[in-house]
Amino acid sequence: MPRGATVVFSAHGVSPSVRRDAAERGLNVVDATCPLVTKVHQEARKYAAAGDTVVLIGHAGHEEVEGTLGEAPERTVLVEDLQDVDNLQVDDPTRVAYLTQTTLAVDETTALIDALRNKFPGARGPGTADICYATTNRQAAVSEIAERAQLIIVVGSANSSNSRRLVEIAIRSGTTAYLVDRADEVEPDWLDGVSVIGLTAGASAPLVLVDEVIARIGEYGPVDVVEHTVTRETVRFTLPPEVR
């Protein structure tokens, strides 16, 4: 990438090494990091500076996890499941802090935090939940919809952590569920014998994709759309200064 070219840091955030690299190469940076992710990065630095081992709950290889790990790599360890918690060894069991990837399933994250606190009774975490409110709201909605739907379709990318969690929650609730990136991925045989379909989307999926899926379903029979509201999202974040 030539000097002066524009680079956009995604909502998942990046590690300090990526920021340094962009500065050294003279790139024009548009920082679109989600403020909730920025908060997690700040917490990682704070806990590490205090001498804690920072336990990050998340999925290895995810962009957000890579960015957070980069804030204090020498003091941060990643755990993905209960087995990781069971195997975890730290230098000082009295100096443990935990953080979470913002797009995890709330129920699974709670179980991991409980396990950490049982193993390290003094473990401390952020004052408020790090899981994104948009992710939490969608998970709550899917849990409710799964009780009445025979099929749930989640609109979102295959590399979207929060979209995949929605599918998992629906399946754990006993409902058949599929993740689609586009309307043409909806298979006609999914609809056989189905009269009630739950439709939701990942936090960053545009509404037009949802509308296209509804239209796709409508190709196989009449559709009566009913919006199920669990909560109203009123939080608004400002655009990055570079694009205001």
For the annotated catalytic residues, the residue numbers are 64
Which CA distances in Å does 162 have to 159, 210, 225?
Answer: 9, 16, 24
Give every CB contact of residue 18 below 8 A, 6+ residues apart in sequence.
9, 67, 70
CB 59 within 8 A of CB 161: yes
Report the distance separating Cα 153 and Cα 176, nearest Å: 9
Tracing tokens 């193993």 back to the chain, one arrives at 119
CB 32 within 8 A of CB 8: yes
Tell which residue, 190, 104, 189, 195, has the closest CA to residue 153. 190
Report the distance separating Cα 231 and Cα 244, nearest Å: 29
Question: How many other CB atoms are there within 10 angstroms of residue 225's CB atom?
Answer: 9
